[in-house]
Structure 1
Amino acid sequence: MTIIQCLHTAILVSNLEKAEQFYGSILGLEKVERNLKYPGVWYQIGDYQIHLMVHPGFNFTLSNPEKWGRNPHFSLGTNNLSDIIARLQSGGYPVQMSQSGRAACFTKDFDGNVIEISQI
């Protein structure tokens, strides 16, 4: 047996409208039309998907608030990190640059889920 592919990541969110604003409008992810039996949205990134699932009252708590990369997170790649940073900041989303020296930043969605974005 060999695991050959990562298919999706499920993310809990408390407010679907605010989550769609962040993942769809700010990050520009492509929404996948699905007939879901629960409130949520799916986004396609190449062969990979992000599944947003509504959980009322959900709020992620950082175990390491000083270094966001040392918390549970998932990572996305971009060909224009400075553009993503500008869009995040203009939308009022926090940005913390990677302390490793890589061209990467960390941000948080409305519910505090941490997302790493790296220049590729």
Structure 2
Amino acid sequence: MLQLNAIHHIAIICSDYERSKQFYTEILGLQIIQEVYRAERDSYKLDLALNGQYVIELFSFPNPPARPSRPEALGLRHLAFAVGDVETAKTALEAAGVDVEPIRIDAQTGRRFTFFSDPDGLPLEFYEE
């Protein structure tokens, strides 16, 4: 049987590189590992870490095609970040001008969670540990 060790990273293609870079680093607080401009592809690649662990590759490409991104669209449903307190995280996002859905309770676990979107509408979640 195949043995997976962990999720290595998540790749995200954005429409406005500087806006998304600011969102993921200044608002969500991910740390920049490295940033590379690939002239042959007219594309940036930004490697981001959370608590020292490599988690996201943020790409820019000229004229990427649109993709449905609401949680019920086919494919990746959303990306969830674990937080200690959903209310505190929600308040911090709202203070930064990010629209955040009302906090809900997971019927299976009793944990609180909420959804919001990145600058391109990618659905993101805060899930309380």
TM-score, length-scaled by structure 2: 0.75
Q: Structure 2 unaligned runs (5+)? A: none
What is the one-letter code of the residue matched to 2:68?
Answer: T
Contact 1:60 1:111 in 2 (8 A): no
Q: Structure 1 unaligned runs (5+)? A: none
1:100 to 91, 96, 106: 106
- With over 3 angstroms needed to count, the CA separation of the structure-2 counterparts of 1:79 and 1:100, relative to structure 1, is closer
Are 1:61 and 2:68 an aligned pair?
Answer: yes
RMSD of aligned alpha carbons: 2.2
What is the one-letter code of the residue matched to 1:53?
Answer: F
Instruction: Give the drift of 1:100.
Output: 3.0
Percent sequence identity is 23
- With over 3 angstroms needed to count, the CA separation of the structure-2 counterparts of 1:84 and 1:56, relative to structure 1, is farther
State the structure with bigger RCO (CA 8 A, min sep 6), 1 or 2: 1
TM-score, length-scaled by structure 1: 0.79
Q: How far apart, CA to CA, are the structure 1 residues paired with 2:119 and 2:36?
A: 24
Q: How far apart, CA to CA, are the structure 2 residues paired with 1:94 and 1:29?
A: 19
- With over 3 angstroms needed to count, the CA separation of the structure-2 counterparts of 1:88 and 1:27, relative to structure 1, is same
Contact 2:36 2:44 in 1 (8 A): no
Number of equivalent positions = 115
Are 1:12 and 2:19 an aligned pair?
Answer: no
2:58 to 52, 64, 68: 52
Q: How far apart, CA to CA, are the structure 2 residues paired with 1:93 and 1:61?
A: 20
Q: Match for residue 79 of structure 1? A: 84
Are 1:114 and 2:120 an aligned pair?
Answer: no
